[in-house]
Structure 1
C-alpha cells in the first residue's frame, strides 16, 4: 500500500512526459514529407528542362532539314515553352454587326497552352471547321477556313479580357439551326498538330425576304398589256421588246345643250272665276204702290 501514491502520481504525470515526444515525432514526419516533396518537384523540373532542351534540338534539326534558320532565343515569336494543348477560348462568340435579325459570322479565339496551362505564342497554321447540329443531333458542315502563319501572326491579341489568336469568319453556308460545333486544329512548324472543339449557341440569320416586316417575299406578277409580247423564258438567250399598240383617236365631245335650271319655287295655277248662282229675278218694289 506504500506504493499506491507513487503509482497514482506516475499515471497522472505520464501524459505530460510523453506529449512533447509525440509532438516532436509528428513535426519530424511533416518536415520529412515536405523535404521529399521538394526534392520531387526539383527532379520534375530538371526533367522538364531536359525535355525542353531535347525539343529545341529537334526543332533545330527539323529546320536544318528544311533549309531554315535555327530557332533563336532572341526571336519573340519562338515559343519559350513547348505547346502541349489547344483550347477554344471563352471569348469565342457569334458576331452580329449589321443590326439585322440573326448572326452573320463567328469570332473564334484559339489559345495554345504549355504543360503548365500558360498561353503560348507559336508559329503555326490553323484550320477552323463549323458544323450545325439539328434537333435530332445530325451534323452538317457550314464552312471551313484555313489560315497560314502570316495571317495567324497578324491575328494575335493579348488583353485583359481576350488573349490568343482572334479569328473572325463569315458564314459560307447559312445555318438554320441555333446549335453549332466548332472544330479547330493548330499545326506547328515542326509538324505537331493539336485539336480542340467547342459547342456554341447562335441566332440563325433570317433570309433577306423575311428580314424586314412588310417586305415582299416574291415579286408581284406583271399584268399583260393588250398588244404586247410576253417576256421570253429565262435562259432562252433571246430578248424581244413589246410591240406598242396603236393609239386610238379621242372620241368627239357632244355639243353642249342648255337646259332650264329647275326653280326652287312652285308655280300655282291661277284661280278660276266662280259663276253667280241662278235665282229669281229681283223685283223693285215701289212703296208708293202700296
Structure 2
C-alpha cells in the first residue's frame, strides 16, 4: 500500500519549492546584471565627459588670454614710466570711445514766455561712439552764435560756457532725440531769422569735438528796448480843395419819337369793311 501525503503537507512542499525557484532566479538575474551593464556603453555619461573636456579646454584658453593681457598691460605701464612725457595720474577718468558729436533735432529758438519771438537758444548735443549710438559722457559744452544778415555777414550775438556739472542733468533720452538739451538765454537779441550756431564739447580727458549748424529763429523785441521817439515836427497837412462839379451833358432819349418833326403823319389804316378804292388827298406843295 502506497504512502500518501496529507493534502496540507503537499501544499506546503509545493509552496516551498516555488519560493526556492523564485530566489534562485533573483540571484541569477542579479549576478548577470552587472555583466550586462558593463558590456553596454552609457551614452549619457559619454556626453557629460565630452562637455567637461570642452569646458576645461575653454577655461585653459581663457586663462592664457588673461595672462597675455596682463603681460601687455605691464609692458605698457613700464613704457609709460620710462617715457619722459607727462605722467597720467592714477585718478584719470575712464576713456569713453567718443567719435564725434552732432546737433540733433530740437536745436533752435526757445519761446516760453508766450510773447511772440524766441527769448533763448536750445542746442541738442549728441556725443556718438564708433557705431553712431548716443553715449553719455561727462564733458563741458561751449556755444557760440552769430546772426547772418541778408548779405551773408555774420555778426556775433553771444558765447556761452557751460561746465560739466551743469551739463550732466540736461541729458534726455527721447524718441526723437537723445543727448544733452542745453538752453541758454540770448546775450544779444538777433535781428535776423537766420542764426549760425557752433558747439564744442570737451571731455574730461581733454578731447574736443565740434559741430555747427544753420537754423532759423523768431526775432523778438528786447524787453528793455524803448519805442523810438519821433524825430522832428510833422508837416501840416493842407486842407483838401473842393473840385467843382462838371456839367453833365443831356442824355438822349432811350427811344426816339415816333414821328420826327416836320414830317406829315399818315392817315390811319382803312377798315376792312370799306370796299372800293379810296383816293388819297392831294399833297400840298
TM-score, normalised by the number of residues in structure 1? 0.47
Which of 1 and 2 has greater Rg?
2
TM-score, normalised by the number of residues in structure 2? 0.47
More RCO (CA 8 Å, sep 6+) = 2
